[in-house]
Amino acid sequence: MRLGSLVGLFLVTAFAVASSVNAAMPGQHNNAASGDLISGEWDATFYAAGQGTPFTLELKLRGETVTGKVHSAHTGPGTISKGSWANDKLTMTFDFASHESIAVTGGLKDGKLSGEFRTEGFVAKWEAKKKTATATK
Q: How far is residue 17's CA from residue 55's CA, in Å, rounded to a whole number?
A: 39
Residue 60: its pLDDT value, please? 98
Residue 132: its pLDDT value, please? 85
Q: How many residues does the chain have?
A: 137
Per-residue confidence in pLDDT tens, the chain, 137 aa: 454 544 344 333 333 333 333 343 344 344 555 689 999 999 999 999 899 999 999 999 999 999 999 999 999 999 999 999 999 999 999 999 999 999 999 999 999 999 999 999 999 999 999 998 765 55
Task: Name the CATH superfamily housing domain 40-130.
Answer: Quinohemoprotein amine dehydrogenase alpha subunit, domain 2 (2.40.128.120)
Helix, strand or coil, per DSSP, at residue 38: coil
Q: Tell me phi and psi for residue 135, to 5 degrees.
A: -75, 140
Q: Which residues contact 47 (CB under 8 A, 6 or more apart)?
A: 53, 124, 125, 126, 127
Residue 35: its pLDDT value, please? 80
Residue 29: its pLDDT value, please? 40
Q: Tell me phi and psi for residue 87, to 5 degrees.
A: 55, 40
Domain boundaries along the sequence of the chain = 1-30, 40-130
CB neighbour class for 108 (10 Å; exposed up to 12, middle 13-18, buried from 19): middle
Residue 7: its pLDDT value, please? 39
Residue 134: its pLDDT value, please? 65
Amino acid identity for residue 68 in this structure: G
Given a contact cutoff of 8 angstroms between Cβ atoms, the answer to whether 41 and 57 are in contact is yes
- Its pTM stands at 0.73
